[in-house]
Amino acid sequence: MNVRENLKAYLDRELPEDQAAAVRQALEQDPSLRQELEEMRMLGLEIRRAATEPEPVGMEQTIGRIAAPRRPWARRPLLALSGIAALAVLVSMVSVLNRARGDAPMAESAAGADVAMKSVAPMAESMAEAPGHAAGENPDYAMAGAFPKRMVVRTADIRLKVDDAAAAMQKAIELAKSLGGYAASSGISRETERSTPVGTATLRVPERNFDAALGQLRTFGDVLSENSNSDDVTLQHADVSARLKVLRAEEQQYVTLLGAAKTIGQVLQVRERLNQVRQEIESLDAQRKTLERQAALSTITATFVQRTAVGEPEPGRGWASEAWASAVNGLTAAFRWIGAAAIFLFVYSPLWLPALLLVAYLARRFK
């Protein structure tokens, strides 16, 4: 134990008794240590005398402020700010939730797939928009770069209740055209003479306009059901392209061999093999082009069910079954809304949870 290091603590009576006894003993034996202790004592005294003792001011003011009635929010700007921030987060969440509901009122179950599709959409867009390559005629984009670009085939089925099925179908066809696509098929049918007409249109729209087309269609009427699907065909396309490349090289070799054939037998043999290879090439090329076309043009099948006119009884359905269906639909919608709200709350928890915890913490602290 270093006695010198304990000297100051000894002077301040801050040493445990055993260590203090050791210092006392050392002091008795060492005059220089006693001198040092005395210097420290004097130094401490001089420091205390040198310290300022300013005349305090402002006590009454402080008492006045403490006695003043509390104005919680004015006195706690941090708490107020936290509250405002939490409110802002809540309002933005509700607005996002409402917007999402407006976009896809009946398609919450497809929301996950939709998000996944959106994540690949920019790549698919870049594929469809590659300069010099019209839709369906883009031979190279799949293998550009070290990794193949994503190719996703997107399809959707949407069923809507509309006032006029024929008009809605015509509008849908116009919509597809305006978005750079076309109607692959369309038609109107009735189950029976008394049934309301049902129009169906199969629309092909560029992949980049898929979401816009679906969004527009939803505004045509009340969405009864909606399903969307995305199929990643990147690997399939890469596989077909690779096999094509190999077969083309093989074709080239047979062409060379054909030129070098000396007998008719050799010529026939080589030509037969060449024909087989070319057939395979054509088949694979068709597959590749189909995949590219499917990825470039998404398919939306829209079904328009015409509403029954007011006062006109809907065929085959009584008022009780109508009420039952309406009640079930309402309940389902309510549960769906609650589920969607819970999901939004969970996903947005990194935003609102810290704010809420901060408010709770500050409220407890300043209470």
Chain residues that interact with another protein, rule: CB under 8 A: 5, 7-9, 12, 14, 36, 38-40, 42-54, 56-59, 61-63, 65-67, 365-367
Give the nearer residue to another protein in terms of CB position, either 59 or 264.
Answer: 59
Residue pair 212/100 in contact by the 8 Å Cβ criterion: no
How many angstroms separate the CA atoms of 98 and 37, rounded?
A: 78
Give the nearer residue to another protein in terms of CB position, either 182 or 361.
Answer: 361
Nearest to 168 by CA among 198, 190, 127, 130: 198
Give the nearer residue to another protein in terms of CB position, either 64 or 318.
Answer: 64
Least distance in angstroms from the C-beta of 53 to another protein: 7
Give the nearer residue to another protein in terms of CB position, either 36 or 280.
Answer: 36
Least distance in angstroms from the C-beta of 51 to another protein: 4
Give the nearer residue to another protein in terms of CB position, either 40 or 166.
Answer: 40
Give the nearer residue to another protein in terms of CB position, either 6 or 241.
Answer: 6
Least distance in angstroms from the C-beta of 215 to another protein: 51
Instruction: Take residue 292 and report the two structure tokens written for it.
Output: 């590219």
Nearest to 230 by CA among 180, 290, 299: 299
In three-state secondary structure terms, 219 is coil
Least distance in angstroms from the C-beta of 366 to another protein: 5
HSE-CB for 120 with a 13 A CA cutoff? 21
Least distance in angstroms from the C-beta of 43 to another protein: 6
Locate the DSSP E strands across 254-343: 297-306
HSE-CB for 89 with a 13 A CA cutoff? 19
Q: Is 133 exposed, middle or buried (0-12, 13-18, 19+ CB in 10 A)?
A: middle
Least distance in angstroms from the C-beta of 22 to another protein: 15
Least distance in angstroms from the C-beta of 15 to another protein: 9
**Residue burial 249-288, b: 16+ Cβ < 10 Å; e: rest:** ebbeebeebeeeeeeeeeeeebeebbeebeebbeebbebb
Give the nearer residue to another protein in terms of CB position, either 7 or 175.
Answer: 7
**What's the order of all strands across the beta sheet hosting 152-162?**
182-189, 198-206, 297-306, 152-162, 222-232
Instruction: Take residue 306 and report the two structure tokens written for it.
Output: 């015409």
Least distance in angstroms from the C-beta of 82 to another protein: 15
Give the nearer residue to another protein in terms of CB position, either 62 or 192.
Answer: 62
Which H or E run includes 162? strand 152-162
How many angstroms separate the CA atoms of 164 and 232, rounded?
A: 36
Give the nearer residue to another protein in terms of CB position, either 78 or 255.
Answer: 78
How many angstroms separate the CA atoms of 96 and 281, rounded?
A: 51
Least distance in angstroms from the C-beta of 6 to another protein: 8
Residue pair 325/204 in contact by the 8 Å Cβ criterion: no
Contacts with 1 (C-beta within 8 Å, 6 or more apart), sequence order: 19, 22
Residue 189's beta-bridge partner residues?
198
